[in-house]
Homo-oligomer: A and B are copies of this chain.
Amino acid sequence: MALVIKLSGRVFEDEELVYRYVEILKTIKEKICIVTGGGEIARRYINAARRGGASHTFQDLLGIYASRLNALLLISLLDDAYPEVPKSLEEVLRAWRHSRVVVTGGLQPGQSTATVAALVAEAVRASVLLNAANIDAVYTDDPRKNPAARRIAELKYGDLEKILNSSALPGGYELLDLWSLSILKRNCITTYIFDKNKPEYIAQVLRGENPGSRVTC
């Protein structure tokens, strides 16, 4: 079984959290591809570029470079990982052929790392995507703004699409964007969304539990 794990870039703002992820990841026996976000550093450089008048393409490339820094840190701490950060989907496939563990960051301007995770899951024919997110589950609305927002443990991709369409952009982006959804759906990949601050949830998902939300096709 092939697994894809998406780690929010925010994980890398807390060194101890990174080490805890490394411990969990070392216990996994399956083939895994980990996709890292860019986090705070990405945001800072993108802002500096935008304020200075840089194109969207370069803004996105800066986010990609930041996510690769996170990917390389993880590689350096995992003994088994492919020693390079792949720079395209073809390089992911090549690395995947040689290593049980592959870690990648962003791949191309104009796409979120959620979409990278979906594309990678499709490429390695993963049946499950674990999304360690900045939110602990899918809600009917943004729970930080709307106290009446209801948590949803089980949902279909169609349901999630509706929620993302109705909500404001930034909140939706943190989970999965529409493009990533369409890729996950066409491959019928099950996605688990859970709180990035609980690395132990990865083990729970592998045991069949659902610590956050599960999205199925």
Residues of A within 8 A of B (CB): 15, 18-19, 22, 41, 45, 48-49, 51-59, 61-62, 65-66, 68-69, 72-73, 75-77, 82-84, 87-90, 93-94, 96-99, 107-111, 115, 118-119, 122-123, 125, 178-179, 183, 186-187
Provide the bound-state CA to CA distance between A123 and B57, in Å: 5
Q: Check if B72 sits within 8 Å of A53, measured CB to CB.
A: no
Q: Check if A90 sits within 8 Å of B97, measured CB to CB.
A: no
- Which residue of B68, B83, B122, B179 is within 8 Å of A179 (Cβ)? B179
**A55 contacts which chain B residues (CB < 8 A)?**
76, 122-123, 125
Interface of A is mostly: helix
- 11 pairs of residues in contact across A and B, judged by CB atoms under 8 Å: A41-B41, A49-B77, A56-B186, A57-B89, A57-B119, A57-B122, A65-B69, A83-B96, A89-B108, A110-B122, A110-B179
Q: Which 8 A-B pairs have the closest CB atoms?
A: A58-B76, A54-B76, A57-B123, A83-B93, A52-B77, A49-B76, A65-B69, A15-B48
Q: Separation in Å of the A217 CB from the closest CB of chain B?
A: 14
Q: Separation in Å of the A117 CB from the closest CB of chain B?
A: 12
Q: Check if A65 sits within 8 Å of B72, measured CB to CB.
A: yes
| Nearest-neighbor residue (CB-CB) of A88 within chain B | B88
18 other contacts beyond A53-B77, A57-B122, A84-B94, with CB at 8 A cut-off? A15-B48, A15-B51, A41-B69, A49-B77, A52-B77, A54-B76, A55-B123, A62-B69, A62-B72, A62-B76, A65-B72, A83-B93, A84-B90, A88-B88, A97-B99, A110-B115, A110-B118, A179-B179
